Amino acid sequence: MIRPRQRRTLPPGEAYARWADNYPPQPHNPLMRAEQGAMAPLVAATTPLCALDVGTGTGRYLPLLVAAGARVAVGVDLSMSMLARQRRPARLVCGDARRLPFRDGRFDVVTSSLMAGDLERLDGWVEEAARLLGPGGHLIYSDFHPAWATERWRRTFETADGQSFEVPYFPHDLDHHLAALESRAFDVQTIREPRLARSDRSAVGKRRRDLPIVVVIHAVKRGRPAFVGRR
């Protein structure tokens, strides 16, 4: 996943269509293990009734939302090919993270794993998350750490037939995340910047082993929840 070598570059839609057949429904590389290790405890600490996972891919976070208590867990992705790989019973929708077909305040938890890097601007995505969440709702999401841009890391993958490709991404520094969240009435609760696990550090050079690999943000929409004490 973290390789400086050049590959044929594909736009996200085409890249995910090619990647889908070879994309597992669990953390399958050092970056994703570090990301989920930071995200999962934040998800587990919520008590959702209705939850939405944006950029769900093969549905990696849907079981975590159900385990947290969600009676309704919906996965959204721009790629039909990725959604077709979902093997668990789930509510799945093909759609754009910035224009989603759900009513205002429909969800009390929204998650997203590394989808923000596919977007040139964060504002539209954060604004849509704010619309979909009720007061007191949780937004928990991750993005590629700004260190990716300075270190010139690349997103690469291999298809089932052995071809190698690169997926472009848009770097966002932490100030951009905070500004987008603040302007949409979110209060940031947690920011985590996980590093690679020691067992995975051989995947990168020595100089890069202690660098943060992703940024994970937990924010809460301002306002009092409609009800408390569900459990």
pLDDT in tens, 90-126: 899 999 999 999 999 999 999 999 999 999 999 999 9
pLDDT score at 228: 42
pLDDT tops 80 at residue 201 = no
- Identify the structural domains of the chain with CATH numbers, from first to last: 8-121+139-221 (3.40.50.150)
Q: What are phi and psi of 200, to 5 degrees?
A: -105, 0
pLDDT score at 24: 81
pLDDT tops 50 at residue 230 = no
pLDDT score at 226: 54
pLDDT tops 50 at residue 81 = yes
Q: List, for residues 163-199, the tens digit of each pLDDT value.
A: 899 988 999 999 999 999 999 999 999 999 998 766 5
Q: What are phi and psi of 207, to 5 degrees?
A: -65, -25
> For strand 186-192 and strand 50-54, is the pairing parallel, antiparallel, or unpaired?
unpaired
pLDDT score at 170: 93
pTM of the predicted structure, to 2 decimals = 0.89
Which residue has better confidence, 162 or 100?
100
pLDDT score at 138: 98
Q: What are all long-range contacts of 24-29, with beta carbons under 8 Å and residues at least 24 apart?
A: 24/58, 25/58, 25/59, 25/60, 25/85, 25/86, 25/87, 25/88, 26/60, 27/60, 29/1, 29/203
CA atoms of 79 and 83, how far apart (whole Å) = 7
pLDDT score at 108: 96
CA atoms of 125 and 184, how far apart (whole Å) = 11
Residues 6+ apart with CB under 8 A from 16: 23, 57, 77, 78, 79, 81, 82, 167
Residues 6+ apart with CB under 8 A from 80: 94
Which residue has better confidence, 140 or 156?
140
Q: List, for residues 2-56, the tens digit of each pLDDT value.
A: 444 446 898 888 898 998 888 888 887 888 999 999 999 999 999 999 999 999 9
pLDDT tops 70 at residue 141 = yes
